[in-house]
Amino acid sequence: MRSRTPVALVAALVLAAGGLAACGDDDEDTGASPPPPAAAQTETTGAAGGGGGETVEVAADPGGALAFQQDSLTAPAGSVTFEFTNQANIPHDFKVEKDGEDVGGTEVVTGDTAEATVELEAGEYTFYCSVGEHRQEGMEGELTVE
Ligand SMILES: [Cu+2]
């Protein structure tokens, strides 16, 4: 007389149920800056060979506030391309400064994007908007190059 209890089947179900519970590590939140709202820009990794250099995205407040969406930026030393997005109806640009001297930046754009490639050495920089009083109104931040 053979036992036909489907032991294997029961075991499979138990395993499956157990597996479902095994997710959800608590990731540590880095806190600080709020995530840019739906800046869903897929990074266009220019498949064009060579070129090198990193791309850093930065955006002005799309709602028209005199602010960048980023308080601070980080970039690797070397050739860095800043992709600046200004969806607002107000002209802005993106400038990079070190020790009070401009080292590069984009043209002024309104409802558009602009790019600037800047050679950066490790150190602390400031980025800002050079239009009108925008910088004084808060359109500046820290750029750390490492
Ligand atoms: Cu501005």
- The structural domains of the chain, with segments of one domain joined by +, span 54-145
The pLDDT score that the predictor gives to residue 27 is: 54
Say if CB 144 and CB 56 are below 8 A apart. no
Give the chain's count of helices (H) and strands (E). 1, 8
Distance 69 CA to ligand 1 centre (A): 12
CATH homologous superfamily of 54-145: Cupredoxins -  blue copper proteins (2.60.40.420)
Q: What would the mean pLDDT of 79-105 be, rounded to a whole number?
A: 97
Mean pLDDT for the stretch of residues 15-36? 49
Model pTM? 0.65
112 C-alpha to ligand 1 centroid (Å): 13
How many angstroms is it from 91 CA to the middle of ligand 1?
Answer: 6
